[in-house]
Amino acid sequence: MSKQLIVIGGGAAGFFCAVNAARMDRSLKVTIIEKSNKLLTKVKVSGGGRCNVTHACFDIAEMSKRYPRGQHFVKKTFHQFFTTDTINWFEERGVKLKTEDDGRMFPVTDFSQTIIECLLKEANKYGVEVLMSKEVKNLSMVDGQWLIKFSDSRLQTSDYVCIACGGYPKSSMFDWLKELGHTIEEPVPSLFTFNLPKHPIIKLMGVSVEKTKIKIQNSKLEEEGPLLITHWGLSGPAVLRLSAWGAREIKTKNYELKININWLPDYNEETLRKKIQELRNTNASQKIINKNSFGLPSRLWEFFTEQSGIKNEWRWADLPSTEQNKLIKNLCSYECEVRGKTTFKEEFVTAGGIKLNEVDANTMMSKKVTNLFFAGEVLDVDGITGGFNFQHAWTSGFVAAKSILKNK
């Protein structure tokens, strides 16, 4: 009798586990169960429809630093299947990836459908059965076999189960996994942008600054990087990274925070004061509003001069010390009150999920129950933006497939 593997979830992690297991052992009967009537939906919409498959980082220690949760776990799993393996895996199947300046990797077609078609073709080639509109309600072990119950009350048995059901926004949605003896880290949103309702800065929507430093008051959280002003508040890599690293802490503050932005992170208040003194000497007769020597977008420079009470006709030599102090404060430590968050549409993830000390990172097998495996976002692993979440999905799916075969 051939053995059977049931994979719960038709997303990136589920497909990667299923197609690799079926390819590595042709005698294994592999079935993907998907509750919706669509497959690989997040792959489809990811990266603005281009699918940011992975990140061009080729050092495991460096790569693992991009995971606010699960850093030590991925350090182990990446030893078995890393970014180079992802690149080769897709290339061997005719999908070439390219790298953008910031390290994100996409299919050269710039079309997520290329990744979907590759995975579907692979599933077809190795006879993976795919059942849609079928939701798993619970699992139990009966006489050494898994008994899987569906929402329509039908039952099915299997030798191995891999749970790749993705993240759930509410803790209660994990109840069927808790019944297996697993503990859940409370799910919270990660990768969101900051709302600044009615704040004067939002009139500068569309302005972006390449290098900024944002700090959350009364916290150790701070991030450096590009910042974008939107019509609702602040976005861009620095904000998204801050939201990922601070996902839990920011939730406890109910998304109400005071932040300070340094728009010129190469300066602090003291060094900026010296620089401004220099400008007063060298540009004495020039109008402050016209002489933006810091390379800031001109709309932002004008905004800060206005916010600091500097009149349009003032020249550097006229700058009184009160207004100079205000300008220094605004440039180095601009205070904003965040009131709420907006989910980042490009790459949203949930932090939380199956507690990592209950899963063996070398095999992806549950330490609580035998022949039960996990892959993807259902685990308490999440990365910042840039292809890190998909890399974890590919890696964990692959490791689960490999160890299921070893377990046979």
Q: Residue 257 Cβ, how far from ligand FAD at the closest point, in Å?
A: 24
What three-state secondary structure class fits 87? helix
Q: Residue 85 Cβ, how far from ligand FAD at the closest point, in Å?
A: 16
Can residue 166 be called a binding residue for ligand FAD (CB under 6 A)? yes
Q: In the stretch 61-80, what mask flags binding to ligand FAD with x, by CB under 6 A?
A: --------------------
Question: Taking CB under 6 A as the criterion, which residues in 35-54 touch ligand FAD?
Answer: 35-36, 41-42, 45-47, 51-52
Rounded to the nearest 10 degrees, how much is the dihedral formed by the CA atoms of 164, 385, 39, 100?
-130
Q: Residue 8 Cβ, how far from ligand FAD at the closest point, in Å?
A: 5
What three-state secondary structure class fits 369? coil
From the list 25, 159, 223, 377, which residue makes contact with ligand FAD (rule: CB under 6 A)? 377
Is 347:167 a contact under the CB 8 Å cutoff? Answer: no
Q: In the stretch 330-369, what mask flags binding to ligand FAD with x, by CB under 6 A?
A: ----------------xxxx--------------------
Listed ranges 8-16, 64-72, 203-211, 356-364: which one lies at the site for ligand FAD (CB under 6 A): 8-16
Can residue 388 be called a binding residue for ligand FAD (CB under 6 A)? yes
Residue with smaller CB distance to ligand FAD, 33 or 336:
33
CB burial string 378-390: b at 16+ within 10 A, e below = bbbbbbbbbbbbb
Can residue 380 be called a binding residue for ligand FAD (CB under 6 A)? no
Q: Residue 111 Cβ, how far from ligand FAD at the closest point, in Å?
A: 13
Number of residues that bind ligand FAD (CB under 6 A): 34
Which tokens is 67 given? 């995971």
Task: Provide the edge-to-edge strand list for the sheet that holds 359-360.
Answer: 129-131, 29-33, 4-8, 160-163, 372-374, 365-366, 359-360
Distance (Å) of CA 381 to CA 205, 258, 301, 375: 33, 28, 40, 10
From the list 148, 327, 393, 400, which residue makes contact with ligand FAD (rule: CB under 6 A)? 393
Listed ranges 58-66, 270-278, 327-335, 384-392: which one lies at the site for ligand FAD (CB under 6 A): 384-392
Question: Taking CB under 6 A as the criterion, which residues in 103-162 touch ligand FAD?
Answer: 135-136
CB burial string 68-88: b at 16+ within 10 A, e below = bbbeebbbebbebbbbebbbe
Which tokens is 275 given? 């620089």
CB atoms within 10 A of CB 168: 18
Q: Residue 202 Cβ, how far from ligand FAD at the closest point, in Å?
A: 24
The packing angle between helices 83-92 and 388-407, to 10°, is 80
3-state class percentages of the chain: helix first, strand second, coil last, to nearest 5: 35, 25, 35
From the list 17, 95, 128, 164, which residue makes contact with ligand FAD (rule: CB under 6 A)? 164
Q: Residue 167 Cβ, how far from ligand FAD at the closest point, in Å?
A: 7
The residues that touch ligand FAD, with contacts defined as CB under 6 A, are 8-14, 33-36, 41-42, 45-47, 51-52, 135-136, 164-166, 346-349, 376-377, 387-390, 393
